[in-house]
Amino acid sequence: MDIAVVGLGLIGGSLLRALAVAGHTVYGYDADPATRATARTAAAQAPTGQRWQVPGTLADTVRRPDGRAADLVAVAVPLPAVGGVFDALGGLGYAGLVTDVTSVKAPVRGLATKLDRFVGGHPMAGREVSGFGAAEPDLFHGCAWVLCLEPDTAMADWLATAALLTGLGARVVPATADEHDRAVAAISHVPHLVAAAVAALAGTDLLAATLAAGSFRDGTRVAASAPALTAAMCGGNAAFVREVLDLVVADLTAARAALDSADPIAALVPWLTPGANARRAWPPRGGDPVQVPVTAEVLLRIGRAGGWITAVDVDRREVTAVRPA
């Protein structure tokens, strides 16, 4: 495929590299001139056959000198910039397929109504580092990549995007935008807030900072993420984040009450047990892969059961699906 990637941070830069390694024709663009220069230098140093182009304008990234448009545009900018990119694509007359990698899906779904063809996406592959310099072509190997399937999503576009992503080694998870946003509030957005609170508390105690080791490192890694990116992620999903955060606060309040009991050790054991069991059972182990004929209902049922797609046969409209054992 001929693909344009707009936004060359960690995710966009990794996607650019992964697509090039997979043999696709890839053009990348970033609004920051320094990032474009870094990406050009990296392209020149990449092996022959795994290189990409970095034009100086969005128009030249989306459309080739002979007038042909890219088959797919992948938008990899922070949530506050997504609307502007969509507007720019419309201004350029781009009518091809668009996907994105934004960590909140419902707001992007609303912005995408101005596009002719759109399949929302989100790779669960973020890290606390950012920028093109942190990009890796194998970032998506084995990662869960949500592809949104709404009532108005064209199945042909969804399958084409899913085929592309499984070709990069990702596990595609079908879900609606609202289902995605509710789930990631629990496993990504609220954990970012909790990590930030714990890290900030340790930052006020020099002795604690010196003693901090594995528990602190593993529990607060994402607190090092750029605050603006975390704020956009959590604020863009405010309704679900509020809901989950209230549940976590209530749970921690119960732990606080256990500490006030006559025997706090005994009282904490039942409070700790569900979390310990859940963490030990993660990640889910996949069952045997099965070939499944494609309908929207079947795909969403796979996602809701915690399953994923590992391969797509576009011509036969069939996917290889794996459900948790």
Tokens of 313: 């046969």
**CATH code, domain with 6:** 3.40.50.720
Residue (of 50, 61, 52, 71) closest to 6 by Cα position: 61
Domain membership of residue 82 (yes or no) is: yes
**CATH code, domain with 186:** 1.10.3660.10
Q: 131 and 189 share a domain?
A: no
In the predicted model, is pLDDT for residue 110 greater than 90? yes
Residue (of 234, 122, 222) closest to 186 by Cα position: 234
Cis link prior to 283 (omega < 30° from 0)?
Answer: yes
- Amino acid 130: pLDDT: 86
For residue range 61-90, list pLDDT tens digits in order.
999 999 999 999 999 999 999 999 999 999
Number of domain units in the chain: 2
For residue range 139-183, list pLDDT tens digits in order.
999 999 999 999 999 999 999 999 999 999 999 999 999 999 999
Per-residue pLDDT, averaged over 213-229, amounts to 95
Per-residue pLDDT, averaged over 40-69, amounts to 97
Domain membership of residue 293 (yes or no) is: no
Q: 90 and 14 share a domain?
A: yes
Q: 7 and 136 share a domain?
A: yes
Domain membership of residue 311 (yes or no) is: no
Q: 97 and 186 share a domain?
A: no
The domain in which residue 103 lies consists of 2-140
Domain membership of residue 25 (yes or no) is: yes
Domain membership of residue 162 (yes or no) is: no
In the predicted model, is pLDDT for residue 106 greater than 90? yes
Q: 124 and 223 share a domain?
A: no
Q: 24 and 124 share a domain?
A: yes
CA atoms within 13 A on the CB side of 310: 13
Contact of 323 with 301, CB cutoff 8 Å: no
pTM for the whole thing?
0.95
In the predicted model, is pLDDT for residue 129 greater than 90? no
Tokens of 249: 């606060």
Q: 39 and 87 share a domain?
A: yes
- Amino acid 294: pLDDT: 96
For residue range 228-281, list pLDDT tens digits in order.
999 999 999 999 999 999 999 999 999 999 999 999 999 999 999 999 999 999
Residues 6+ apart with CB under 8 A from 131: 9, 10, 13, 35
Per-residue pLDDT, averaged over 86-100, amounts to 97
CA distance 121 to 17: 18
In the predicted model, is pLDDT for residue 127 greater than 90? no
CA distance 208 to 72: 49
For residue range 286-322, list pLDDT tens digits in order.
999 999 999 999 999 999 999 999 999 999 999 999 9
CA 197 to chain centre: 23
- Amino acid 311: pLDDT: 98
